[in-house]
Structure formats: C-alpha cells, structure tokens
Amino acid sequence: MPHPRISVILPWCEARGEELLHLEKWVKGQTLPRDEFQVVIAYPDDEPESKAIIEEHLAPGDKVLPGKYPTAIDLWQVALMAADAEWIFVSELHCIPAKTTLQDVLTAAEDNGLDAFSVDTGHINKTDVAWMEEQIFHHLTPELRAEGQWNLLRLRGFAIRRDWVHRLGGLKPKYDLYSELILSLELAKAGAKVGLDDRAKVYHVNQETMPLHRDDLKRFIDGEMKYRADLPESSWIEYLDIPPELTDLWQSRPSTARRLLKWLTSPEGDRAFDQYISRRTPTLVGSAIFGFFPRILRQTAEWLYWETRFAIAFGRTDYRFQLYREQCRSYVELCRAKAFHGCLRSGISENEIEDQTAISPTGFLERKDTHKDTIRWLGFYGSEKYEGNPFRWGTPFCGWILALGNGDWTVTIDTGGIIDPTTQKTIAAMWNGKAVDTTWIDHRKIQVSGLGVTGEKAKWGELLIRATPLSGKPSEEPRDLALPVFSLHFEKQ
C-alpha cells in the first residue's frame, strides 16, 4: 500500500452484535480507493476468535493491534498513536459510514482550514432510550454551533491531524469516557482550530438501555472527578464550568455542615438567606449527624441514599410516554441523581485537611507532592468576566480551604463593586468554626480579620463566608448568587 491519505481508527468493542457487517461497510463500501486509506484496529487479545475475522477483511498496510486493554478508551488510544496517515478519522465500530464518508472527510479537510472536526451524525435507534438520546442530541446541536464553542469532538466520528495527536499525546485512558472532552479541551488550550463539517456523515447505531446508559454515565462522571482532582483548577477553569452538584458538594463534609448550622439561629433576620438555607437544612443536618458515624457507615448510607434516588428516577422513565418533554424530564432527573452520586463518591475527604509543613513566602501551602491547588474554593461557580476582569460568584455559603503560617492574618476580599454594601449588611465570617470580624472598608472591599494560626507548621484552615443572596437577578439565572470575588489579599499582622 502506498502511503495512505487517511487512517481509520476502529476499536474492536461495542459493535453491538454487528461487527462483521459494520467492518465491511468501512473496508469494502467506500468510494475512496482502498489503497488510499488505512484501517487500524485494536482488540483485546482474550478474544482470539476476533483476530481471524479482522485479518480476513484487512489489506496490506492496515494494522491489527491485539493486547490487554483495561478500558475501551485504551483501544482508541493505541490505534490512534499507531496510525500513519496525515489525517486520522476516529469512529466507533457500531457506527456505519456512508459510501462517500472517507472521501468527504478528505474533501472537507482540504478546504475548511481546521485541525480537527466532527462530521454529521445520522441515527439508527433500536430502543426507546436510544430515541430519547437522539432527541437530546438534536436539542444540544445549536449550542455546538455557537461561536466560541470548543467541546466539539465526538468519538462516533471526527477527523484530526496526526501531528496534533502526537503533540497532545492522544486520548487519556485514565479518565475513561471523559477523555473525549479532555481532547477537545487540550486542543482549545493549544490554539488548534476545531469545528464541525457536515459534508461527511456517519450513522450511529444505538441499542442503548437504561442499565447500559447508567454504566456509561458512571464512567463519564468518575473520569470527570478524577480529572478535576488530578489537575490544578487553574488549568481547566477557563473551559469547564463548575456544576451546582460540585459547587454545593463541600457542604457534605460533616465538620463544615456543623459549622454552617451555627448560622441557622443567627438573629439578623435575613429573609433572603433564611429562604436559601431552608432548602439545605435537611442535607446539612444529615451530614452533621452522619459525621459522628464511622466513615464506612457514612459512606454506605450515602451510597444507599443516592442509589435509591437513582432507582426512583429510573422507575419514572416510562418508555411508553408519548410526550417528549416528560421523557426528557425524567431522563435528566436520573442523570442528575447519578451525577450527584458520582460527586459524593469522589468528593473532598476529611483527610485532606491536615497539618502540612512546607510554607511559601506568601504564607500559602505549597504541596510539592501533588498537583492540587494551594487554595481550594468552596461554594463558588466557574470563572467569568465583568468589564474585562475575571471573577467568580460565590453562593450564600462559600469560603476557602487554605494553609497559613503561624500568626494572625487578615484577608481582603475584592468584590469589584458589583454588589451594594448597604444591601449586604449580614456578611459574616467563620474561621475554623469561630466567628471572626468582617468590615466593609470601601464600596468594593471586605476585610476579614482574626484568622489566627498557632504552631510552627502551616495548617489547613477553613474560612467560611455567609452572605445575603443577590436580589433582582434575571429570571433565567438558576444559580444562587451572593458574593462576587475578584481577588484575595492576605496580610500577616
């Protein structure tokens, strides 16, 4: 075979009982001459019967890569790194190409000026869950075409230049199904041109059932939690929002819940705050009580609660519903239940708040043994901009976990002048469970004083803020907004 113009990546998994039919569509059904494209297939070596089927349909220059692959993403990754052509087309074995798919991909690649692009998707649905997934896919399509969108690549069908694959290291199997999103993120950060091109098309054969979807959702969420934990927030916060499930997750820590409950009986009489906290009281009380249980019992109770909630949402998804809105509502509810369960399972550990020894010149902890940030934001949404300056909105309960050296510290919070000090009279602060003083020093800055640390070692501490929920926010704003933070300035007294 002469040097191929394009390589096709087909991991031998999830073919859904039609391996041979789909493989023939790729190797025999294309208008692009066979000697102009290479097929690369990775497959688990514990399936010896697959080898004969695969090799029978391949041509000289194609590659078969048997091996022990822990996840399906390992199959994609190995094949991706072994491809020889300048352009690589990535797909799934349960996807069927049109006759002109590969020719159309090359035509698009020649004139669209992109380094990577997803192709159009048709749908062959064999279950009601598959049909529901298609409706949600179509619902999200306009968002994918919005200006500035970066999360565009889908394993069901995208093309990418080989040099970008090797520059970024391909997919990241450690993060399982979340690797698909990570590749798009890394391309965006590196300045690659990524987009959509509808001239080429594949057909996604979907036999999804709720148990299969449940497993895929778990794998995606577990990968997301690992990724967010492994890398410093500064490396992804510009691209990844912080969903409400993660924003409120920190309140599940028993010690934090007990501290927050102290504010329930405060005499300020802040109606907006009371309405906010009333929705969270059961969760806080439950977390505070479970904190006295041994860890294994607490984790078991959390697991039972969220598994039960998922089961209830699962039961409400009646495939016989004729109303699309009702189907999608139940579908989204069960996704959220499982997502929150995944967040709890991978959430902040009590053991992470421990004495540490290394102190940077500014007084913050430098954790040289990990990639964790030196300050952890609690109850804050993702970064956004106001008049060109980045900031983050905090919820009515928010704060930070940080490490300070020995002595008394003062922190100044710059709110950017977004909120009116006269409407934020009830801002209060707590340092490791004890009330500390807060003062507005001008129209945009709040000073919190009395952060005392004793001992020779740097110590992790928890600074909590209570603020009045923002009034007059747009009706389409679903978030609980209270405290905008542009910067923090720490000063040792």
Query: Phi and psi for 356 in degrees, rounded to 5?
Result: -130, 170
- In this prediction, residues 182-208 reach a mean pLDDT of 94
pLDDT at 196 over 90: yes
Question: What number of other Cβ atoms are within 10 A of residue 403's Cβ?
Answer: 25
d(CA 121, CA 97): 10
Q: Kindly state the DSSP code that residue 476 receives in the 8-state scheme.
A: T
pLDDT above 60 for 41: yes
pLDDT above 90 covers a percentage of the chain that reads 29
Question: So what's the pLDDT on residue 384?
Answer: 80
Most confident listed range (51-60, 334-343, 353-362): 51-60
Higher pLDDT, 323 or 262: 262
Tell me the pLDDT band of 380, cut-offs 50, 70 and 90. Answer: confident
Per-domain boundaries in the chain: 6-207, 235-350, 353-492
Question: What pLDDT sits at residue 190?
Answer: 95
Q: With 60 as the cut, is the pLDDT of residue 332 above it?
A: no
> Which pLDDT score is estimated for 222?
77
Q: What is the pLDDT at residue 137? A: 78
- 489: pLDDT strictly greater than 80: yes
Structure tokens at 409: 């510290």
- In this prediction the pTM is 0.70
Residues 6+ apart with CB under 8 A from 233: 373, 377
Residue among 160, 150, 154 at smallest CA distance from 137? 154
Assign a CATH topology to domain 6-207.
Answer: Spore Coat Polysaccharide Biosynthesis Protein SpsA; Chain A (3.90.550)
Expressed in angstroms, the distance from the first to the final Cα of the chain is 74
Kindly tell me if the per-residue pLDDT of 143 is higher than 60: yes
Confidence of residue 377 (pLDDT cuts 50, 70, 90): confident
- Residue 466 CB-density burial (10 A; 0-12 exposed, 13-18 middle, 19+ buried): buried
The pLDDT confidence band at residue 173, using thresholds 50, 70 and 90, is: very high
Residue-averaged pLDDT of the chain? 77
Q: Produce one character per residue of 444-462: b if its CB has 16 or more CB atoms within 10 Å, e if not.
A: bbbbbbebbbeeebbbbbb
With bands split at pLDDT 50, 70 and 90, how would you rate the model's confidence at 371? very low
Weakest mean pLDDT among 54-63, 175-184, 263-272, 382-391: 263-272
pLDDT at 277 over 70: no
CATH code of the domain occupying 353-492: 2.60.120
Residues 6+ apart with CB under 8 A from 46: 68
DSSP letter string over 342-382?
A: HHHHTS--GGGS-EE--B-TTS-B--TTS---SEEEEEEEE
- How do 194-206 and 116-125 pair as beta strands? parallel
Greatest Cα pair distance, the chain, in angstroms, is: 81
Residue 408: its pLDDT value, please?
87
Q: What are phi and psi of 367, to 5 degrees?
A: -95, 90
CA dihedral 340, 342, 344, 346 (to 10 degrees): -150
Is 225 in contact with 343 (CB distance < 8 Å)? Answer: yes
pLDDT digits (tens, 9 = 90+) for 50-76: 777 788 888 889 998 888 888 889 999
Q: How far apart are CA 381 and CA 480, in angstroms?
A: 10
Q: For residue 16, which of 220, 206, 152 has the smallest C-alpha distance? A: 206
Q: If you average pLDDT over residues 286-310, what whole number do you get?
A: 65
Whether the pLDDT of residue 174 is over 80: the answer is yes
Confidence of residue 202 (pLDDT cuts 50, 70, 90): very high
pLDDT band per the 50, 70, 90 thresholds, residue 296: low
Cα–Cα distance for residue pair 4/270, rounded to 1 Å: 69
Helix H or strand E segment including 307: helix 295-316
**Res. 111: pLDDT tops 90:** yes
- Please indicate whether the domains covering 6-207 and 353-492 agree at the CATH topology level: no
| Total residues found in the chain within this entry | 493
What is the pLDDT, as a whole number, of residue 426? Answer: 67
Contacts of 253 (CB under 8 A, 6+ apart): 287, 347, 348, 350
Indicate whether 80 pLDDT > 90: yes
Q: What is the pLDDT of residue 355?
A: 29
The sign of the CA dihedral 125, 195, 186, 235 is: negative
Q: What is the spatial distance between Cα 205 and Cα 201, in angstroms, rounded to a whole number?
A: 13
Cα distance between residue 124 and residue 207, in whole Å = 9
Task: Say which residue, 306 or 165, is predicted with more confidence.
Answer: 165
The DSSP letter of residue 425 is T
Looking at per-residue confidence, does 171 or 478 come out higher? Answer: 171
Listed residue (212, 205, 124, 110) closest to 159, CA to CA: 110
Q: Mean pLDDT over residues 190-194, rounded?
A: 95
Which of these ranges, 33-42, 299-308, 365-374, 404-413, has the smallest mean pLDDT? 365-374
Q: Is residue 426 a contact partner of residue 468, using CB atoms and an 8 Å limit? A: yes
What is the band of 84 on the pLDDT scale with cuts at 50, 70, 90? Answer: very high
Encoded amino acid at 448, one letter = V
**Banded model confidence at residue 292, pLDDT cuts 50, 70, 90:** low
Q: What is the pLDDT of residue 82?
A: 96
User: Average pLDDT in the 314-331 region?
Assistant: 47
Higher pLDDT, 318 or 27: 27
Question: Could you report the per-residue pLDDT of 420-472, keeping only the tens digit for each?
Answer: 887 766 688 989 888 899 999 988 899 999 888 776 555 678 898 988 887 76
